[in-house]
Amino acid sequence: MIMERMGAAPDTHSSLVASPADRNAALTFMPAPLISVVLVCRNPGPRVRDALASIWAQQEADLEAVVIDGASTDGTREWLESRRNRLGTLVSEPDTGVYEAMNKGITAARGDWVLFLGADDRLATPDVFAQVADPVRRTAAGIVAATARFNDGRLYAPQPGAAIRRNFLHHQATFYRRLSFNQHGRFDPQLRIQADYDLNLRWVRAGAGVTTLPHLVAHCGTGGLSDGGTWRNYREEITVRHRHFPPRQCWLWDLGSVARYLRKKIRRSVASHRPE
């Protein structure tokens, strides 16, 4: 495992891990940033460079970048180590999946608010954080949600009023109050695709509150876990729905999940057989 904090002297010996006590002591007099951007990856190749570049390009931003790498073997780990002085925290070690990595990012984050990105994502403009800084400082809500755009042009805007239908917040465009993770819980790593839907429902139904913003926060890659069209994605969506709503409210929306799965499957089948 590698875990480095910004400003720590590089270790030239076999162990690159500082003790938690040493890390906490080093951070005692460092002011906490407003926003921690947690970027999770495993063997992402050069894509992670664009994601980090969009973070480092932020203007007038009080932030830190926290990178949780799942022990990459494609050179990413070494590239990140060479730039660890630009990172708030770098963790490189095996994990069981994206949500365990995101939970590690929560532990490492020091900001008042946490935003999660993947290696396929990037912040929309260099002034995104300058635009959202004042609203997140003023809100009493536990969640501040804005819009993400997929690379194929689809927009994903927050829809708190449609919470029972499907995931209503896109985590690449959603800021979570860090201390609220202690009150409302973290991501359930037993869910492989829809743990963000589960967390969003859990927080909102516990009264965390959602503030929505009109800003475009992130551009996101297509074909990710929740966009891949697999049956497991829709099955987990149904499972999460039943965790938070009584069955009598769910069955119609469960049928909708099945219909969306079949529609996507048919569309992709047609596209794959379309002549060049």
Q: What is the pLDDT of residues 85-115, one digit of tens each?
A: 999 999 999 999 999 999 999 999 999 999 9
Q: Are 216 and 124 in contact (CB under 8 A)?
A: yes
pLDDT in the model for residue 15:
31
Which tens digits make up the pLDDT trace of 70-88? 999 999 999 999 999 999 9
Span 109-127, average pLDDT:
97
Quick one: what percent of the chain has pLDDT higher than 90? Answer: 80
**Local structure of 103: helix, strand or coil:** helix
Q: What domains does the chain contain, in order, with CATH numbers? A: 2-227 (3.90.550.10)
Q: Give which of 73, 71, 69 is closest to 48, Cα–Cα.
A: 69
The whole-model pTM stands at 0.88
Tokens at 139, concatenated: 């809100």
Single-letter amino acid code for the residue at 8: A
d(CA 93, CA 2): 7
Task: Give the Å distances, CA to CA, from 99 to 39, 70, 128, 187.
Answer: 12, 11, 25, 6
Residue 17 pLDDT > 60 = no
